Chains A and B, each alone.
Chain A
Amino acid sequence: MTTITVNGRRHEVAASPDTPLLYVLRNDLELNGPKFGCGLAQCGACTVLIDGKPARSCSVTVSAAAKGAITTLEGLGTMEKLHPLQRAFIDEQACQCGYCSNGMIMAAKALLDGNPRPSEPEIKQALNAHLCRCASHNRIVRAVQRAAKEMA
Chain B
Amino acid sequence: MKTDLSRRDFLKTGSALVISFSLAPELAFGQAKPAPLPGSLSNNRMLNAWLRVDADGTVTIFTGKIELGQGIGTALTQIAADELDVDLKRVKIVYGDTALTPNEGQTAGSQSVENSGTAVRFACAEARDILVNAAAAKLGVGAAALSVSDGTCTAGGKSVAYWDLVADADFKREASAKVKPKPSSEHKWVGKSILRRDIPKKMTGGAAYVQDVRLPGMVFGRVVRPPSPGAQLVSVDEAAVKRMPGVIAVVRDGSFIGVAAQREEQAIRARELLKKSAKWKESASLPPSGEALYEHLMTKAKSVDSVVNEKTSATAAPAAKTLNATYTRPFQVHGSIGPSCAVAQWRDGKLTVWTHSQGVFPLRGDLAQVFATDPANIHCIHAESAGCYGHNGADDVALDAALVARATGGRPVKLQWMRDDEFQWEPYGSAMVMKLSGGLDAQGNVASWTHEVWTHPHNNRPGARDGVNLLASWYLEKPSKAPTPADPPMPTGGGERNSVPLYDFPNQKVLKHFVPEMPMRTSALRTLGGYANVFALESFIDELALAAKADPVEFRLRHLKDPRAKAVIEAAAQRALWQPGAKGDGTRGRGFSFAKYKNLACYVALVADVEVDRASGKVRVTRAVAAVDAGQIVNPDGVVNQIEGGIIQSASWTLLEAVRYDRTRVTTRSWADYPILHFEDVPQVEVVLLNRPEERFLGVGEGSQGPAAAAIANAIFDATGVRLRSVPFTPERVKAALA
Contact = CB atoms under 8 A, between A and B. Distances in A.
A78 B338 contact: no
A90 B387 contact: no
A23 B267 CA distance: 11
Contacts of B338: 35-37, 45, 97, 99
A86 B649 contact: no
Interface in A110-146: 121, 123-125, 127-141
A139 B419 contact: no
A123 to B, nearest CB: 8
B68 A135 contact: no
Given A39-B419, A43-B671, A74-B204, A95 B199 contact: yes
B637 interface: yes
B480 to A, nearest CB: 29
B684 interface: yes
A98 B670 CA distance: 21
B211 A134 contact: no
A42 B670 contact: yes
| Residue among B214, B418, B644, B684 with the highest chain A CB neighbour number at 10 A | B644
Given A42-B672, A135-B644, A97 B205 contact: no
Interface string B326-346: 000000000111110000000
B492 interface: no
B682 interface: yes
A123 B384 CA distance: 29
Interface in B615-652: 637, 641-642, 644-649, 652
Nearest to A143: B203
A33 interface: yes
Interface residues of B, number: 62
A133 B205 contact: no
A137 B337 CA distance: 14
A36 B416 contact: yes
| Residue among B641, B679, B685 with the highest chain A CB neighbour number at 10 A | B679
A138 B678 contact: no
Q: From DSSP, what is the main secondary structure of chain A's interface residues?
A: loop
Contacts of B206: 32, 79
B483 to A, nearest CB: 28
A136 B419 contact: no
B586 interface: no
Contact of B205 (A42, A74, A136): A74
A73 B69 contact: no
A93 B642 CA distance: 12
Contacts of B268: 39
A90 B649 contact: no
| Residue among A19, A36, A121 with the highest chain B CB neighbour number at 10 A | A36
A15 interface: yes
A44 B647 CA distance: 23
Contacts of A128: 678-680
Given A93-B196, A138-B682, A32 B208 contact: yes
Interface residues of A, number: 60
Nearest to B68: A97
A96 B641 contact: yes
B645 to A, nearest CB: 4
B310 interface: no
Nearest to A100: B337
Interface string B673-691: 0001111101011000000
Given A36-B338, A45-B338, A73-B205, A97 B69 contact: yes
B637 A99 contact: no
A16 B245 CA distance: 10
Contacts of A127: 679
Contacts of A64: none
B263 A23 contact: yes
B205 A72 contact: yes
B385 interface: yes
Given A36-B416, A42-B671, A93-B195, A133 B336 contact: yes
A40 interface: yes
Contact of B641 (A15, A19, A78, A93): A93
Given A93-B637, A100-B386, 19 more contacts: A27-B263, A27-B264, A31-B205, A32-B206, A32-B212, A33-B205, A35-B209, A35-B386, A36-B339, A73-B203, A96-B645, A97-B338, A99-B387, A121-B680, A128-B679, A131-B671, A132-B337, A133-B336, A136-B644
Which 10 residue pairs spanning A and B have beta carbons closest together?
A97-B69, A135-B648, A98-B202, A99-B386, A97-B387, A33-B205, A96-B69, A135-B645, A74-B205, A124-B679
Interface of B: 68-71, 193, 195-196, 198-209, 211-212, 214, 220, 245, 263-265, 268, 335-339, 384-387, 389, 416, 418-419, 637, 641-642, 644-649, 652, 670-672, 676-680, 682, 684-685
26 contacts: A16-B265, A32-B205, A32-B207, A35-B338, A39-B418, A40-B671, A74-B204, A78-B204, A82-B203, A89-B199, A95-B199, A95-B202, A98-B199, A99-B69, A99-B338, A99-B387, A133-B337, A133-B389, A135-B645, A135-B647, A136-B644, A136-B645, A137-B648, A137-B679, A138-B684, A139-B641
